[in-house]
Each structure stands twice: as C-alpha cells, then as structure tokens.
Amino acid sequence: MEKRVYRSRISVLLVGVLLTCFLHFLLPIFILLFRSGIYIGFCFFAGIFVLLIFLFCGMSYELTEKQLILKICGGSYFTFPLSVIASVERSYNPLSSPAGSLKRLKIRMKKGYKFPYALVSPVREQEFLETLKQLNPDINIRVSDKKGWHRIYRIWDWDI
C-alpha cells in the first residue's frame, strides 16, 4: 500500500479565536504602525493573517504500512508506529496539537509508550479511520457522530 495523506480540518471557531487573540494583544502595535504609514500597518496585519493560514494549512497526516506521521508546518513531524496505537475516540479537547479543528480524534497509545495520546482532525475522517483499521485490525475504534437538530448549534463542529 502506498502512503495516504489526509489534511487537517480547519475550524472557523478556532481561527476566529486565534485571530481575535492576536489582534487583541497586537492591536496597540498595529495602531502605532498604522499611524506611521498605512503600508507598514497593512503589511503587519497581512503578515499575521498569512502566518495563521500557513500554520493551519501546513498540517497533515500520513498513513503508511507501518506508521502514522503527523506533519506540522515548517517540516516538523512526529511518527507513531501503528503497532502502538490502542484505540481511537472522539475528543473536543482544546489542547495544543497538530489539529486545526476542535472536532478531533484522540489516538491513544499502548501503556509504556512515550506519548500517551495524539489529537488529530483529518478532513476525510471516516476514510482515515477505515484505513487505520485496515492497517492494524487490533485498534479499537469508538467514534460516533450523533446526528440531530442539536448538532447545528455546536459551533465547535463548524469546519472548512
């Protein structure tokens, strides 16, 4: 099997929160730069926006025959052998992770591995889970998406 690449979901809520935080803390600097020249202020704001896009669009997950590779922007990556993955379940944990969405999958590792779990948010989630199960049938997958009217109001599920 060749490697399969899955890009990360991008959450509208998460991008909005990060952009708001950046603007809140950097607004005084932005105002000073804007007063000194419109081009400097615009470049500063555009730079922050490009940085956010670079951070979110650079995340992807690769499944190969023997390992899961979590790629982060800038060439950084983590690798996990498929043999150490114990289970996969749904998580909305907001901890920092290579996931651009709050609707995540928590990949638990077997006891004794150096990382207890990893949080990911692949776009084609069902395909990702099926491929993972196909590569290692011992993985216990407990992911359910309850459909219903209440799902509309869960803004942490709004992804691009």
pLDDT digit string (tens) for the chain, length 160 residues: 688 899 888 877 777 777 777 777 777 776 766 676 666 667 777 777 777 777 667 788 999 999 999 888 767 788 999 999 999 998 888 777 777 788 889 999 998 888 899 999 898 889 999 999 999 999 999 987 666 555 555 555 666 5
* Cross-strand bridge partners of residue 159: 11
- The answer to whether residue 158 is domain-embedded is no
Question: CATH no. for residue 49?
Answer: 2.30.29
Structural domain of residue 112, as residue ranges? 1-146
Residues sharing a CB contact under 8 Å with residue 145, sequence separation 6 or more, in sequence order = 90
User: Is 60 among the domain residues?
Assistant: yes
Distance in angstroms (rounded) separating the CA atoms of residues 85 and 118: 10
Residue ranges of E strands in the chain: 4-7, 60-63, 67-71, 77-81, 85-91, 104-109, 117-120, 140-142
Tally of structural domains, the chain: 1
Residue 73 in any domain: the answer is: yes
> Does 154 fall in a domain?
no
